[in-house]
């Protein structure tokens, strides 16, 4: 326990922060640039999933703190939107640079609090940096097109305006990167953000807010990047129903996303939904199996199966099924499981006891439904929330394989024809990430065609997880349809305006309509 506290104190000291850590002392969970003390002290304890022991606690935002944060964010919007976009980009550039300075300690903190291995923790911070860089370039490219008007001496074009306060609700599994996907884009688009992170990962959020504050202080700005930490059922609920928030970007489970969609659309607010996945890989008879097995391992076991893009379903052509399963059964025992900050460890813990219980319950259901456990299938008896990576031979009708269990459980199916594999692949409610391993041009193109994968992400000879930020990220069906990060995802953070200017002396109407007094 004292080692852990010592570690986290060192992390924060590396960040140049003077946070009070420890169970008895408290950090604040609401910030607009200035930290806000709530009227009511409700403590949230952050637990180290590798040991089950507390790391530190923060004081959550209450209603009054929420109100202060939202008021500040709304006020800041009216000035921030007037800063020219390339200048907003310069500030985001500084944020990226500050994240470069703190990449190592912030990455370690991500691993400590969330449980992903050190290189993935660092990767998450790198993703934040990449997003900042992307947003800087974007700040000079918030283009709208010009259209040809059907009327003489008329000009028509589209332009994009800042939207307002963006509510960013994030999941535990990408505790900092998903914030950056949203906040970096929103900032160059002229919006302010209020971030409600997962209650499983409050310390990483506090650290990121401190990093933002350092940058914004230099420019004498507050209220652009804001934080409210508190329970979903109170703070989250207020945010999704708040008419001052024209856009809620929500990352989390499909069940919660459905509720967010209903709440925001009831008030004609918008939402970006990044929800659950049930991702699959198809391996054809001619696939490069060395490549496929390596990709399957990372996608199924990496982050202990706690990525939205984690591989959950594997469709193997019947001619190579035994060979691939054999190789996986050989590889799984050599995966080192343990403290994610220790060298050589490839799989850390699940995030909390609830996640372990969900894993255990899923395995009971799998057995009852006729799934055969080929490897793993139990919790690991050691402190913390560790489970075995698990391989299940699945009959085609296995109901559990239709659900997202947020744990390292891989369902293996066999298929005979590509048509059959694609049909099974697309038969679930979720539509996030997908991949095919094949050496056949026809099979690859078929998979990528509109007769192929129905997911938002479709890869060839690459696993389902580990997307780059340059593309738009998101999924279809019950994954929610949202798009974040690269490409033109920025458009969701702005409002579109179509403008027509008559610079002639006539007033012609569109479609040749005549409306003239006799």
Strands (E) located in 340-405: 372-375, 390-393
CA 268 to chain centre: 24
The CB-of-503 to ligand NAD minimum distance in angstroms stands at: 46
CB of 24 or CB of 233, closer to ligand NAD: 233
Find the shortest distance in angstroms from Cβ 461 to ligand NAD: 23
Distance CA 324, CA 328 (A): 6
The DSSP H or E segment spanning 240 is: helix 237-240
Q: How many residues does the chain have?
A: 518
The residue among 38 and 230 lying less far from ligand NAD, judged by its C-beta, is: 230
Judged by beta carbon, residue 52 or residue 231, the one nearer ligand NAD is 231
Residue 251 touching ligand NAD (CB under 6 A): yes
Instruction: Give dist(CA 41, CA 55) in Å, integer.
Output: 18
Other beta carbons within 10 Å of 3 = 9
Examine residue 276 and tell whether it contacts ligand NAD (CB under 6 A): yes
Q: Where are the alpha helices (DSSP H) in 267-388?
A: 289-301, 321-331, 353-368
- Beta strands 225-228; 30-31: pairing state: antiparallel
**Number of separate helices (H) and strands (E) present in the chain:** 14, 23
Q: Which of 29, 164, 175, 252 binds ligand NAD (CB under 6 A)?
A: 252
Check residue 256 for interaction with ligand NAD (CB under 6 A). yes
Strand locations in 394-456 (E): 409-415, 430-431, 433-437
Q: How far is the CB of 59 from ligand NAD (least distance, A)?
A: 17
DSSP-derived 3-state class of residue 430: strand
The per-residue DSSP string of 21-67 comes to: -SSSS-EESEESSSB---SS--EEEEEETTTTEEEEEEEPP-HHHHH
The residue behind tokens 């028509």 is: 156
198 touching ligand NAD, by CB under 6 A = yes
Task: Please give the structure tokens belonging to residue 297.
Answer: 């391992």
Active-site residue, 274 included: yes
Q: Does 249 bind ligand NAD (CB under 6 A)?
A: no
Closest CA to 224 of 34, 419, 466, 474: 34
Which of 117, 229, 232, 109 minimizes the C-alpha distance to 176? 109
Q: How far is the CB of 399 from ligand NAD (least distance, A)?
A: 18
Q: Helices marked H in 303-352 — which ranges?
A: 321-331
Of 80 and 134, the one with the shorter C-beta distance to ligand NAD is 134
Query: What is d(CA 67, CA 55) in angstroms, rounded to the nearest whole number?
Result: 28
Positions 398 through 457 that interact with ligand NAD (CB under 6 A): 404, 406, 432
Of 31, 132, 212, 308, which is the active-site residue? 308
Residue at token pair 């990455």: 107
Question: Among 2, 3, 145, 233, which residue sits at the site for ligand NAD (rule: CB under 6 A)?
Answer: 233
329 φ, ψ to 5°? Answer: -65, -25
Q: Is 499 a catalytic site residue?
A: no
In the complex with ligand NAD, which residue's Cβ is closer, 127 or 414? 127
By C-beta, is 180 or 432 nearer to ligand NAD? Answer: 432
Q: Is residue 111 involved in binding ligand NAD (CB under 6 A)?
A: no
Number of shown-chain residues binding ligand NAD (CB under 6 A)? 30
Which residue has the CB atom at the shortest distance from ligand NAD?
Answer: 232
Catalytic residue among 113, 120, 127, 274: 274
**Residue among 259 and 393 whose Cβ is closer to ligand NAD:** 259
Q: How many CB atoms lie within 10 A of CB 34?
A: 12
Q: Which stretch binds ligand NAD (CB under 6 A): 110-118, 270-278, 290-298, 507-515?
A: 270-278
If you ran DSSP here, which 8-state letter would residue 83 be given?
S
Q: Does residue 169 belong to the site contacting ligand NAD (CB under 6 A)?
A: yes
Name which position in 107, 164, 277, 431 contacts ligand NAD (CB under 6 A). 277
Q: Binder to ligand NAD among 118, 213, 479, 490 (CB under 6 A)?
A: 479
Give the per-residue contact string, 355-374, with ligand NAD (x = CB under 6 A; - = no).
--------------------
- State yes or no: residue 237 binds ligand NAD (CB under 6 A): yes
State the catalytic residues.
Answer: 274, 308
Residues forming the site for ligand NAD (CB under 6 A):
169-174, 196, 198-199, 232-233, 236-237, 240, 251-253, 256, 259-260, 274-277, 308, 404, 406, 432, 475, 479
């Amino acid at each position: 326990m004292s080692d852990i506290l010592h570690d986290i104190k060192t992390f924060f000291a590396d960040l140049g922060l003077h946070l009070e850590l420890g169970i008895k002392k408290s950090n604040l969970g609401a910030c607009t640039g200035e930290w806000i003390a709530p009227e009511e002290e409700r403590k949230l304890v952050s637990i180290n999933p590798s040991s089950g022991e507390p790391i530190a606690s923060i004081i959550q935002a209450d209603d009054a703190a929420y109100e202060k944060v939202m008021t500040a964010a709304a006020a800041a919007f009216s000035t921030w939107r007037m800063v020219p976009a390339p200048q907003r980009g310069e500030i985001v550039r500084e944020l990226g640079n500050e994240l470069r300075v703190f990449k190592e300690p912030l990455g370690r903190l991500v691993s400590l609090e969330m449980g992903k291995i050190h290189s993935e923790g660092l990767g998450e911070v790198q993703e934040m940096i990449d997003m900042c860089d992307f947003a800087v370039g974007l700040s000079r490219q918030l283009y709208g097109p010009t259209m040809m008007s059907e009327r003489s001496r008329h000009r028509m074009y589209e332009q994009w305006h800042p939207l307002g306060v963006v509510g960013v609700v994030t999941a535990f599994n990408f505790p900092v990167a998903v914030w950056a996907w949203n906040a970096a884009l929103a900032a160059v688009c002229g919006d302010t953000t209020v971030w409600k992170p997962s209650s499983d990962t409050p310390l990483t959020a506090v650290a990121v807010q401190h990093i933002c504050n350092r940058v914004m202080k230099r420019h004498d700005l507050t209220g652009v990047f804001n934080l409210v930490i508190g329970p979903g059922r109170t703070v989250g609920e207020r945010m999704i129903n708040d008419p001052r928030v024209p856009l809620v970007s929500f990352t989390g489970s499909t069940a919660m996303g459905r509720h967010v969609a209903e709440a925001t659309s009831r008030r004609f607010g918008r939402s970006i939904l990044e929800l659950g996945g049930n991702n699959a890989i198809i391996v054809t008879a001619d696939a490069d199996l060395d490549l496929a097995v390596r990709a399957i391992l990372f996608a199924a076991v990496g982050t202990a199966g706690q990525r939205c893009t984690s591989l959950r379903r594997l469709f193997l052509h019947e001619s190579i099924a035994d060979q691939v399963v054999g190789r996986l059964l050989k590889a799984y025992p050599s995966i080192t499981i343990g403290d994610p900050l220790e060298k050589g460890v490839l799989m850390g813990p699940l995030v909390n006891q609830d996640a372990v219980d969900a894993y255990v319950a899923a395995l009971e259901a799998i057995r009852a439904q006729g799934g055969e456990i080929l490897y793993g299938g139990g919790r690991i008896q050691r402190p913390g929330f560790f489970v075995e990576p698990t391989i299940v031979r699945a009959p085609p009708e296995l109901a559990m394989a239709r659900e997202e269990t947020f744990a390292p459980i891989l369902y293996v199916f066999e298929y005979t024809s590509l048509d059959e594999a694609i049909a099974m692949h697309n038969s679930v409610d979720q539509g996030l990430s997908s991949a095919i391993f094949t050496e056949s041009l026809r099979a690859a193109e078929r998979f990528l065609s509109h007769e192929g994968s129905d997911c938002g992400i479709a890869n060839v000879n690459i696993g389902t997880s580990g997307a780059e930020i340059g593309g738009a990220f998101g999924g279809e069906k019950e994954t929610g349809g949202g798009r974040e990060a690269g490409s033109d995802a920025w458009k969701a953070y702005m409002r579109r305006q179509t403008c027509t200017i008559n610079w002639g002396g006539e007033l012609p109407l569109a479609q040749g309509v005549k409306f003239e007094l006799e």
